[in-house]
Amino acid sequence: MVENQTIEHLFYRCQRVMQFWNALTVLIQDKCQHAHNLRIDEKLVIFGMSQGIMTDQGLDKIIMWSKFHIYKS
Report domain extents, the chain. 7-72
> Considering only CA atoms, which of 32, 59, 31, 53 is closest in space to residue 41?
53
The pTM (predicted TM-score) of the whole model is 0.88
**Residue 60: per-residue pLDDT:** 96
**Residue 72: per-residue pLDDT:** 96
Residue 2 has pLDDT above 90, yes or no: no
Do residues 25 and 40 touch, judged by C-beta distance below 8 A? yes
Confidence of residue 39 (pLDDT cuts 50, 70, 90): very high
Cα distance between residue 58 and residue 65, in whole Å: 11
> Considering only CA atoms, which of 6, 11, 40 is closest in space to residue 26?
40
Mean local confidence (pLDDT), 7-19: 96
